[in-house]
Amino acid sequence: MLLVLAFSIPVIAQESTFESPITLPDTVAEGREVTVTVAACIGEDQQEQRDAFDAQLARFSAVYPNVKLERVQYCWNPESFAALVAGGNLPTLFAVPATEYQRLIKDGTAINLAPYFEKFTLDGVFNPTLMALLSDADGNPYGIPEFSYAQGIGWDIAALKEAGYDAPADTWPELGAQAKALADPDTGKAGFAMFMSGGAGGWHWTNLAYGFGATELIRDNGDGTYTAVYGEGPAVEAMQFMHDLRWKDGINALPLDLNSNPTFETVDGRAAIFMSPADGSIGWLRVNMPDVDLTRFGYTAVPKSPDGKRYTLSGGSAQFVFSGASADAQEAAVVYYLWKTLSAEEFAASRVIFQNTQAGGGTPVLPVYAGTVQEAVEAFDTQFITMPVENYQGFYDALNAGEIVLVPEPPFAQDFYTAIAEVLTTVLTDENADVAALMAANAASFQSGILDVAVSK
Amino acid sequence: MSRTVRRKMPSRLRWREQIAAYGFLAPALVLFTVFAWFPILNSVVMSFQKVNLADASKSTWVGFDNYTRMISDPTFVASWSNSFQFAVLSIIIGYFVPIVVAVFVNEMRLARGFFRIVYFLPSAIPPLVGILVWRLIYDPRPGGLLNSLMAGVGIPPQQWLQDVVLVKPSILVMMTWGGFGATMLIYLATLQDLPTELYEAAEIDGASIWQRARHILIPYLRPTMLVLLIVQILGLVQIFIEPLVLTKGGPGQATMTPVFTLYRKGFLSGDYGLAAAWSVMLMIVLGVISIVYLRLTGIGRTSGDR
């Protein structure tokens, strides 16, 4: 999720001793004149950051005089993105959220970056788990990660302490029991909040399904066909869990408003525990609602599944190069982004721009890089921390222990999220809903109505 | 009915007469071609393709596959069924509201202008703002605005937008609130064309307001009512922003609508060919309703056709 700062963090960048892992070329596009448009999502009120961005573009043109870089103010949104692609007006270098990675790869909007990864020896520079999400089935990389997060669990520290808990439980069934104990039916206060409707509801529920032990929801048969396998097993248990949170024991542990935002519910004291990626919740609050006292909230990783791992869908954003641009512009765009993020000269300036235009410093997110590059990034970014990171130790412990496992989005993700949200909202509004029957029926209709006909396309 | 007498005119003379008219028409024709007819035509073409937005030359023809997928989609029947239910319910819930209000405002001897404005005000509020306000009104918690009012008369808290039975009426009440003011003005304008002597005669004869409405007003309003009914149905087939903002199509499939599904397929799933098929289907349905509308209003018929 791309975020825009509502205020600027006053930061004076320290000198960096960053050692670049790459060797950049002496010339780009064999010296031919080329213009590259670069998308930048920087708020209207952030003139200082815009100036810093533009200054960096100018420095690149000073190094490569044949390349003219133009900043284009653009924050991704689905409606305008489609029009820009169709009109051939997409910036040469642009960022999209993680939900779009595979679509861009499959529909040819983004170019294959494998030749550049090979030329600049980028293997091992980026977090391999993220690169897997940014690559096609043959392992060709199409995007360069810039930011990534996992789902996690936030909580109202005082509310849990009052009920005798130090932190959210470590498995979903235990967390469910906790949520029941924390709920207050008289006021409508929820013990646990998550997105429950629409695509976001399906997206959140999918994390639960993995947390209950599902290993796949839509099986890729490898021959161009797919099978919906969520109509039985752990996925049904995950849906039953939601049903029981709402109805069992006569206590509703969930927010009554199915369209509520879990973070807002918790911040406003209407929920005790919530599921959300950190950048979209506590990081978002730091950026957009700086008056909220973030020391009130803790944040940890999602509960463990039966095998002890913490499976989670991920999110974030990555940079892509538009296939509709000229070959020279494509090359210049790649070199510019690598120069910007990985050159010793620009590393510090880029981290400052990134930190001042993205989520609050110290938000528990996932490493974008690997090895020494990641170590350098973390060391440099320490100066930007404005969040109470001591409250997020559980997340970091799980991350460092290798317990957090990123799972890719299921095939036909958006259709699936919408379809499963139909079951979710049904079981949350009908106490007598037959969960197993609904899941089986939904999987069957998804198979015949979406998967089978998609194959014949 | 009179018949126009058609006389054969020399073609050169007719062209000269019409060149200025076409000149005035040209800007509108160009704009409509670029922003309406070309996109419509392109949608029809895309509905038969697997669309590659980045490079249109790489779009491939898939015959009727997109239409097959549209009809097979689990949300197809639900979306159109919901549209039909919204249309029927809207007639019950909202259709007569502007008529009744127009009749009462028309009956007023004092402050008629004031009430015209008051009733029209909701129509002046941006729809999204209105929807967000109604979201607060429909807050399902015990302390929600409407639930608090209901509690005053002993009705337990209701899940206005979370209950399969209540969600459609709740949305229609909201839509009626937002739209009835403008419709009321149309009825009021029609009523004010009513020959006053007819109405005064009924008053002198001692007819009650109900008798005046039944025997004079409603017969007089009937053609307008029919036309506005079609306009209302045209609007209801295109419900989009309410499910998008309030319900995300739920609970279950209760508020899935064709335009909402079209939006999801196109902009969220990136399946532009399938979305185009949905849009063509929608265009056909709206076209049929519009033809009925044109027939009822007589628009497009010249005096010579009558």
Nearest chain A residue (CA) to B143: A187
Q: How confident is the model at residue A4 (pLDDT cuts 50, 70, 90)?
A: very low
Query: What token pair was written down for B80?
Result: 């159109």
Closest CB to B69 among A86, A188, A454: A454
Q: How confident is the model at residue A10 (pLDDT cuts 50, 70, 90)?
A: very low
Smallest Cα distance from A286 to chain B, Å:
25
Residue B185: what pLDDT? 92
Is B57 touching A (CB cutoff 8 A)? no
Calpha distance B47→A430 (Å, rounded): 37
Q: How confident is the model at residue B284 (pLDDT cuts 50, 70, 90)?
A: very high
Helices (H), B6-53: 11-32, 38-46
Tens digit of each residue's pLDDT (9 = 90 or more) over A30-44: 999 999 999 998 877
Most A-contacting residue of B136, B162, B163 (CB-CB within 10 A), to test interface: B162
Residue B6: what pLDDT? 54
Query: What token pair was written down for B89?
Result: 């319910």
Residue B8: what pLDDT? 56
Q: Helix B167-192 and helix B97-107: axis angle, to 10°?
A: 40
Task: Supply angle C-alpha B184, B189, B192, rounded to 5.
Answer: 125
A418 CB neighbours in chain B (<8 A) are 75, 249, 264, 268
Tens digit of each residue's pLDDT (9 = 90 or more) over B243-259: 999 999 989 999 999 99
Which A residues in the span 198-237 are in contact with B, Cβ-Cβ below 8 Å? 198-201
Burial (CB < 10 A; 0-12, 13-18, 19+), residue A358, is: buried
Tens digit of each residue's pLDDT (9 = 90 or more) over A373-429: 999 999 998 988 888 999 999 999 999 999 999 998 898 988 999 999 999 999 999
Check CB contact under 8 Å for B141 and A429.
no
Q: How confident is the model at residue B262 (pLDDT cuts 50, 70, 90)?
A: very high
Q: Encode burial over A304-315: b for 16+ CB neighbours within 10 A, e otherwise.
A: bbeeebbbbbbb
Is A454 touching B (CB cutoff 8 A)? yes
Burial (CB < 10 A; 0-12, 13-18, 19+), residue B284, is: exposed
Most B-contacting residue of A101, A239, A257 (CB-CB within 10 A), to test interface: A257
Nearest chain B residue (CA) to A78: B267
Check CB contact under 8 Å for A258 and B250.
yes
Residue A384: what pLDDT? 86
Name which residue leads in pLDDT, A101 or A45.
Answer: A101
Residue A213: what pLDDT? 95
Check CB contact under 8 Å for B267 and A450.
no
Nearest chain A residue (CA) to B253: A422
Across the range A67-89, mean pLDDT stands at 89
- In this predicted structure, the answer to whether residue A48 has a pLDDT above a threshold of 70 is yes
Is A85 touching B (CB cutoff 8 A)? yes
A107 CB neighbours in chain B (<8 A) are 52-54, 270
Query: How large a percentage of chain A has pLDDT more than 70?
Result: 95
Residue A264: what pLDDT? 93
**Sign of dihedral through CA atoms A245, A251, A255, A257?**
positive
| Count of other CB atoms within 10 angstroms of residue B37 | 11
Closest CB to B54 among A186, A324, A414: A324
Tens digit of each residue's pLDDT (9 = 90 or more) over B145-172: 999 999 999 998 899 999 999 999 999 9
Check CB contact under 8 Å for A429 and B251.
yes
Least-confidence region, from A85-94, A352-361, B133-142, B176-185: A352-361
B163 CB neighbours in chain A (<8 A) are 429
Nearest chain B residue (CA) to A88: B54
B50 touches B271 (CB < 8 A):
no
Tens digit of each residue's pLDDT (9 = 90 or more) over A153-204: 999 999 999 999 999 999 999 999 999 999 998 888 999 999 999 999 999 9
Q: Which of A196, A246, A172, A206 is nearest to A432 (CA)?
A: A246
Nearest chain A residue (CA) to B243: A198
Smallest Cα distance from B153 to chain A, Å:
19
Across the range A322-326, mean pLDDT stands at 94
Across the range A254-280, mean pLDDT stands at 93
Tens digit of each residue's pLDDT (9 = 90 or more) over B22-64: 898 999 999 999 999 999 999 999 999 998 887 888 899 999 9
Query: What token pair was written down for B19?
Result: 């060149």
Across the range A126-138, mean pLDDT stands at 92
Calpha distance A52→B193 (Å, rounded): 66
- In this predicted structure, the answer to whether residue B239 has a pLDDT above a threshold of 60 is yes
Residue B2: what pLDDT? 45
| Count of other CB atoms within 10 angstroms of residue B6 | 7
Most A-contacting residue of B246, B248, B256, B272 (CB-CB within 10 A), to test interface: B248
As a whole number, the mean pLDDT across chain B is 87
